[in-house]
Structure 1
Amino acid sequence: MQRETNKEILAHRNVNKTIMMEGGDVYDCIDVSVQPTLDHPLLKYHKIQMEPSSVPVEESIKPPSPNGVLQAHLSIVECPKGMVPILRNNRMGHIASYITEQVINKDEQLEDPKTANWWLMYGEEKTPIGYWPSSLFSHIKDKGIFSYWGGFVQGPTASSDSAQMGSGHFASEGYGKAAFMRNIQIVDINNKLVTPNRHKDLLGTSDKTKYSIGGYVVDNHGMHMYYGGPGNLF
């Protein structure tokens, strides 16, 4: 059976606005209640949650050094209120969707123990981006047992054609070159954002000649680390 293209799938979903991004990506704004995500069998009776039912209480962390920290920013996709941007990608034959009005790239965190839905939020302002309904999970319906930070890349032949990770620089190249994460926190059983236990962590890389992790410390600015690598050098 021939798979429908995204354009055909979106045809009956009342596209309100179409946005062309600088890189060539096209987004269609459709009503949040008819987004393709809700076609999943496990979400047949799902009631959309428009905002988190609670926000974790944050522990006190000193601001970063006066030098500041470089922020990476995604292009903002803005749709009218009550609409969501859907990436139109016929070449890949799939649809990506966000349960949100716009996307902003900053620090991120997951939470929401009252509804058991897993929310994605960005920045010090805790801007809600969207969530993964708990009905999609079997082992993390109520809580997670571990957290993961770092990078993951995948290519057609990963063993012989490994892509670069992050900025393509090794962790040892440090600030301004290597990719990094800062102020790493988790939500504890009391719904508080806390720094992970430094004595329970496990550091590693699949291939030290291609990727590395370094600068992993906990100080007055929280937990932070550098990571990344060039993959195969040709």
Structure 2
Amino acid sequence: MKGGDVYDCIDVNAQPSLNHPKLKDHKIQMQPSSFPIWLDTESEFPHSWWEVQPYTIDCPIGTVPVLCNNRSGNIIAHNIDGVSSIGLQTETEAAGIRYYDDVYGARAIINVYEPRVNKDSKDLSAAWVQINNGKGEHTDTIGAGLEVNPSFSGDTFVRFHISWTDGLDKKSCLDHSCPGFVQVDHKSGLGARLQHVSVYGGRQFAMTLSIFKDEKSGNWWVAYGKNNTPFGYWPSALFSFLNYKGHFVFWGGFVQGPTVSSNAPQMGSGHFASEGYGKAAYIRNAQILNENNKYVTPEDNVKLDHGTSNSTLYTVDKFEAHTPGMTIYYGGPGLV
């Protein structure tokens, strides 16, 4: 692949994810039993943008692409509250939208940028959608989005990733670093670079992402693109607290790692949110999935919060909530 990435095309029924002890005799679900309902109101966004997706990988039908050069080992827990459930010394800063209530999925359109992260650090910078359920260290999390993570990928390119945390085992996983996430898409791979990246003051690219619970199987699916292409899923059997529903959603950016307080990486475009479209990164059309399998915009302001954990490094601005979902601009230069 471009940039030297190497993928193996592995039989879908022999992918490493199925080695998880909780997935013994698991029968792969190749398609969601149904898709959530949402309103397509693109005309309400006044700016031009181009949809982007990971590079296409030509694996045969019946196989899935698995990146060979991903690093495994100690994976930092992708937790925007900064709780590392695997004992690593990490620090976290986050900027975006939080919503606290029963949820069965979340979706958003994520503006694609490539924030600067020190290649020699173990820090990362992500644009993310995350769903949690649990309490304290015993919290199950699932998430998907875009991130620059040099210690995992070995470079500073923005890539498509998923992550999850088992609240009981206190184990955090990224992509195929440990078994569990079942992939079905044969044209895209975890850890893949994006086809295009937005340019400050220039052309803007964005990626549509959704996470939703299958009404029949109970599995948590990840889909991408305007056509809602199913990528794969977390089997509900993996979780103790997320096996039925989530109680918290986050949309936005976060940075995480051992040197965030002293050498914080960029978030979003690397510019403050007040600069607006074309210069600051955005999340838009952010919605939750309700118990009726319908995407809706949260209306209860008591359960909704938007802000930043460190306004000197990262800001949020221009928050709006309307029919096609919530919009927010976020990000900043950090200390790089």
Which bracket does the TM-score occupy, shorter chain normalised?
Answer: 0.7 to 0.9
- Report the equivalent of 1:77: 57
Rounded Cα–Cα distance in structure 1 between residues aligned with 2:260 and 2:64: 34
How far the C-alpha of 1:67 sits from its partner, in A, is 3.5
Percent identity over the alignment is 51
For residue 211 of structure 2, what is the amino acid of its counterpart?
A: L
- Report the equivalent of 2:243: 141
Q: Which whole-Å deviations, capped at 9, do the CAs of 1:17-57 have from their partners, x for residues lacking one?
A: xxxx2122211111011111111111122111100011112
CA contact (8 A) 1:198 1:218 kept: no
Residue 8 of structure 2 aligns to a residue whose secondary structure is strand
- Report the equivalent of 2:3: 23
CA contact (8 A) 2:40 2:324 kept: no
Runs of 4 or more above 6 Å deviation = none
How far the C-alpha of 1:62 sits from its partner, in A, is 5.1
For residue 171 of structure 1, what is the amino acid of its counterpart?
A: A
Q: Which whole-Å deviations, capped at 9, do the CAs of 1:93-132 have from their partners, x for residues lacking one?
A: 6884443112387211111222110001123311111111
Rounded Cα–Cα distance in structure 2 between residues aligned with 1:55 and 1:192: 9
| Residue 189, structure 1, aligned to residue 296, structure 2 | no
Larger Rg: 1
Q: Which whole-Å deviations, capped at 9, do the CAs of 1:59-88 have from their partners, x for residues lacking one?
A: 363524454224444322231111111111
Rounded Cα–Cα distance in structure 2 between residues aligned with 1:194 and 1:77: 33
| Residue 99, structure 1, aligned to residue 184, structure 2 | yes
CA contact (8 A) 2:270 2:334 kept: yes
| Residue 210, structure 1, aligned to residue 313, structure 2 | yes
CA contact (8 A) 2:268 2:332 kept: yes
1:31-180 equivalent positions in 2, closer than 5 A: 31-59=11-39, 61=41, 63-65=43-45, 67-89=47-69, 92=72, 96-97=175-176, 98-103=183-188, 106-111=207-212, 112-180=214-282
Rounded Cα–Cα distance in structure 2 between residues aligned with 1:64 and 1:81: 38
How far the C-alpha of 1:220 sits from its partner, in A, is 5.0
CA contact (8 A) 2:22 2:237 kept: yes
Rounded Cα–Cα distance in structure 2 between residues aligned with 1:53 and 1:223: 27
- More off after superposition, 151-160 vs 68-77: 68-77
Greater strand content: 2
CA contact (8 A) 1:167 1:178 kept: yes
Rounded Cα–Cα distance in structure 2 between residues aligned with 1:42 and 1:110: 21
Q: How many residues align?
A: 213
Rounded Cα–Cα distance in structure 2 between residues aligned with 1:78 and 1:167: 31
**What is the TM-score when the length of structure 1 is the normalising length?**
0.82
How far the C-alpha of 1:198 sits from its partner, in A, is 5.1
Q: 1:127–1:91: structure 2 CA closer, same or farther, 3 Å change rule?
A: closer
Rounded Cα–Cα distance in structure 2 between residues aligned with 1:169 and 1:73: 23
Q: 1:162–1:75: structure 2 CA closer, same or farther, 3 Å change rule?
A: same
How far the C-alpha of 1:161 sits from its partner, in A, is 1.6
How far the C-alpha of 1:222 sits from its partner, in A, is 3.0
For residue 210 of structure 1, what is the amino acid of its counterpart?
A: L
For residue 178 of structure 1, what is the amino acid of its counterpart?
A: A
Gaps of 5+ in 2: 74-151, 153-173, 177-182, 189-193, 195-205
Rounded Cα–Cα distance in structure 2 between residues aligned with 1:90 and 1:128: 22
Rounded Cα–Cα distance in structure 1 between residues aligned with 2:275 and 2:286: 20
- Report the equivalent of 1:13: none
